[in-house]
Structure 1
Amino acid sequence: MTLRELLARKASGIITIKASTNLLQAIELMCDRKVGSLLVESGDGGLLGIATERDILRACYHRKGDLTNALVDDAMTRDIIVASPETSVDEAMSMMTEHRFRHLPILDDGKPIGIISIGDLVKAQLKDITVEIKYLREYIAA
């Protein structure tokens, strides 16, 4: 299965934010939308970085909890790994495990089209394995 197919199954919109957004507003958006990361968009609609719960927690620590004047730009990760829609679920899981991150932006022609989490990948693999087990059991029983 490719990430394009997984995104189609997931059917949730992409959530982006500007780097100039106040960090407290970013936290509010993450809480309201129940997500663990936000894609940070550049002025031309490209991807500038990603702001994750971990990034925000680190910013909070370094600022001693005072996020009044903090911006997403101060906390986000800029050097990110991305995937294409044609990347397989197995490849994506390997990338995320090897580099130790939980959210993977998907770019098509340099523009973000979605994001998947490690949980999305686990669910997809679990569904595939469950279907395979079902067919194997039916085959053995026949």
Structure 2
Amino acid sequence: MNIASILHEKGHDVFTIKLPKTLLDICATLREHRIGAILIVDDAGKVAGILSERDIVRRIATDGPDALKADASDCMTSSVVTCGPEETIQAAMARMSEGRFRHIPVVENGDLVGMVSIGDLVKRRIADAEREAEDLKNYLYAS
């Protein structure tokens, strides 16, 4: 299974923003859309950064409540790791585990086509394992 199969099920919608925004603005957007990370895009719609709840918590831990007044560009990760739709779920999970991040944008031919979370990948792996177990059970009982 690959990333494209997950996007086919969950959709290709990705919440993005353009800068300038404060961390408080980002928090409001994350809350409004019930998401854990947001992509920052440039005027051409290309990925310029990613900002997660974890990034915001780290900044608040360092700077206290005043951190929410900071510009999002000071807190975002600008060297964003991406994957392609053809990448396997296992490869994407390994990359996310190694990098210790929970969201990965999906880019095809330089264009943003979706984003998946570690939760999306784990959910799919569990569903695949359950389906395989059911298939094996049916095979054994049909014999």
TM-score after normalising by structure 1: 0.93
Q: Which has the higher mean CA deviation after the structures are superposed, 91-100 or 4-13?
A: 4-13
Pairing 1:73-88 to 2, within 5 Å after superposition:
73-88=73-88
Other structure's SS at 1:13 match? coil
Aligned-pair identity in percent equals 34
Q: Which residue of 1 aligns with 2:53?
A: 53
Contact 2:2 2:86 in 1 (8 A): yes
Contact 2:2 2:89 in 1 (8 A): yes
Contact 2:22 2:70 in 1 (8 A): yes
Task: Flag structure 2 segments of 5+ consecutive residues without an equivalent.
Answer: none
Q: Which residue of 2 aligns with 1:122?
A: 122
Q: Which residue of 1 aligns with 2:27?
A: 27
Residue by residue over 1:25-49, the C-alpha shift from the partner in whole angstroms, topping out at 9 and shown as x without a partner, is 1101101111110011012110001
Q: Give the distance between the partners of 1:63 and 1:44, measured in 2 at CA.
A: 32
Q: Which residue of 2 aligns with 1:95?
A: 95
Q: Which residue of 1 aligns with 2:63?
A: 63
Residue by residue over 1:47-69, the C-alpha shift from the partner in whole angstroms, topping out at 9 and shown as x without a partner, is 00100011111222333211453
Residue by residue over 1:62-108, the C-alpha shift from the partner in whole angstroms, topping out at 9 and shown as x without a partner, is 33211453121111111221101111111111111122111111111
TM-score after normalising by structure 2: 0.93
Other structure's SS at 2:66 match? coil
Matched pairs, number: 142
The aligned amino acid for 1:104 is: I
RMSD over equivalenced CA pairs, Å = 1.3
Task: Flag structure 1 segments of 5+ consecutive residues without an equivalent.
Answer: none
Contact 1:51 1:76 in 2 (8 A): yes
Q: Which runs of 4+ in 1 moved over 6 A?
A: none
Q: Which has the higher mean CA deviation after the structures are superposed, 8-17 or 27-36?
A: 8-17
The aligned amino acid for 2:52 is: T
Q: Which has the higher mean CA deviation after the structures are superposed, 128-137 or 94-103?
A: 94-103
1:12 Cα deviation (Å)?
Answer: 5.7
1:11 Cα deviation (Å)?
Answer: 2.1
Q: Give the distance between the partners of 1:29 and 1:73, measured in 2 at CA.
A: 15
